[in-house]
Structure 1
Amino acid sequence: MEIQQAGSPLKLSTITSLADGIAALFFPSVEVAVHDAQTGKIAYLANNLSKRQIGDDAGLEELEGLETLTGPYEKLNWDGRKMRSVSIRVPQEEGAGYVFCINFSMALLEDAKNALELFLSVNRLQPQPVQLFKNDWQEKINTCIHKWVSENNTSLSVLNRNQKKALVENLYEQGVFNVRNSADYVSKVLGMGRATLYKHIKETR
């Protein structure tokens, strides 16, 4: 399928405008290169990330037999960073036409991924100071609640009435409600009225 405008192949000026638009929309991560398939040279570059120049060899011998749309495929940029690319053949009435290449640099995404992995790493975490947390009854309740939720393959946000009742029974058996104010805390966490919570506790006794 050819890329056409009003029934005719696109002019180079239109192709370069498309290149500028795509590069502007996805700045600073996208470069668009327009290759002249007849001369084998780069005809246009928008948001130059590859440090090539207009008139440089386009390496079109590597694109022999290129389909109308090829990709996405992966390539390595000058800085060693990965790029994901698509190449689009733009035929012309005369000559071999152009190859429109969109190159998406993965650098920002890779940096963000590495930063998240570093931030979320547990290797630098230290054990909780016993002196500070030995009486942290809220955390103990949180642990009991989410252990039950995990064991029952559900999540806190979707618990139905029967599941909440079963969870309260479990917490009662573990002595959670022996701690002052714990019932108020559990009712808030479970999104349950205090009267309903006390009713379940009473039925469990």
Structure 2
Amino acid sequence: MLNRYHAIADAIALLFSPYAEIAIHDLTSKTLVYIANNRSQRELGEDSNLSGLQDDYDLQVIGPYLKRNWDGNQLRSISAVLRDDRGDPIGLMCINLDISVLENAKAALDLFLVGNVLQPQPDMLFHDDWQQRINSFIHSWLQQRQLTLATLNGVSRRALVEALYQEGAFKGKNAAGYVAKILVISRATVYNYLKNIKESV
């Protein structure tokens, strides 16, 4: 009956190839009966080292949890209880995903992004960088309101332009055109917003 799960194991292994190994254990014989993409160098028929699962009828998923492979690579694993037509547990499908490649990538990114040699922005270059100040203000304004540029509508765009105006963002040359480009609206629309804002002050 566990044969019906072989195709699922193969499909998962193909989807996450070459990093996922899927093992199916028989709870009756407590042995490994199928393995897709064998990365652990296990053999069919060997002891599964499982016990007690037949007695827990409510158990569905175990994990995720961490394991260490024979080659030292870190695995993130999760196990699903397989059942027969009556709902009784008959097997266990274990998915072992090798995350060492992701850990190495994360370590490389952390090393790059931490930037031990990074220094504060030099005043001589950025003291008059109105574009940088607009970028920072917009990012902060959107974050505070849990918005993105893509989700802005007419009302929120005008509110952002007004906030930028209050911040003095439009003192820079071509600032209106720069803001229009960011908000994906015409320069005329920005000027119209600014006109209305000034009139209402």
1:187 matched to which residue of 2? 180
Q: Is the 8 A contact 1:45 1:54 kept in 2?
A: yes
Q: Is the 8 A contact 1:22 1:32 kept in 2?
A: yes
Q: Is the 8 A contact 1:32 1:103 kept in 2?
A: yes
Larger Rg: 1
AA matched with 2:47: D
How far did residue 152 of structure 1 move? 5.3
Q: Considering only aligned residues, what root-mean-square deviation do their CA atoms show, in Å?
A: 3.7
Which stretches in structure 1 are left out of the alignment for 5+ residues? 1-9
1:161-180: CA deviation from partner (whole Å, max 9, x where unpaired):
34433443443444433322
Equivalenced residue count is 191
Taking structure 2 as the reference length, the TM-score comes to: 0.68
Does structure 1 residue 27 correspond to structure 2 residue 17?
A: yes
Does structure 1 residue 103 correspond to structure 2 residue 107?
A: no
Taking structure 1 as the reference length, the TM-score comes to: 0.67
Identity %: 36
1:118-157 equivalent positions in 2, closer than 5 A? 118-121=111-114, 125-150=118-143, 154-157=147-150
How far did residue 57 of structure 1 move? 1.6
The counterpart of 2:68, out of the listed 77, 80, 84, is 77
Distance 2:160 2:120 in 1: 28
AA matched with 2:16: F
Distance 1:126 1:44 in 2: 55
How far did residue 76 of structure 1 move? 1.9
Q: Residues 68 and 143 (structure 1 numbering): CA distance in 2 closer, same or farther, change over 3 Å?
A: closer
1:40 matched to which residue of 2? 30
Q: Residues 165 and 191 (structure 1 numbering): CA distance in 2 closer, same or farther, change over 3 Å?
A: same
Q: Is the 8 A contact 2:32 2:47 kept in 1?
A: yes
Q: Is the 8 A contact 1:171 1:177 kept in 2?
A: yes
Which stretches in structure 2 are left out of the alignment for 5+ residues? none
Q: Residues 22 and 199 (structure 1 numbering): CA distance in 2 closer, same or farther, change over 3 Å?
A: closer
How far did residue 23 of structure 1 move? 2.6
Q: Is the 8 A contact 1:30 1:104 kept in 2?
A: yes
SS at match of 1:105: strand
1:21-61: CA deviation from partner (whole Å, max 9, x where unpaired):
44334322332323344543323332223332223222133
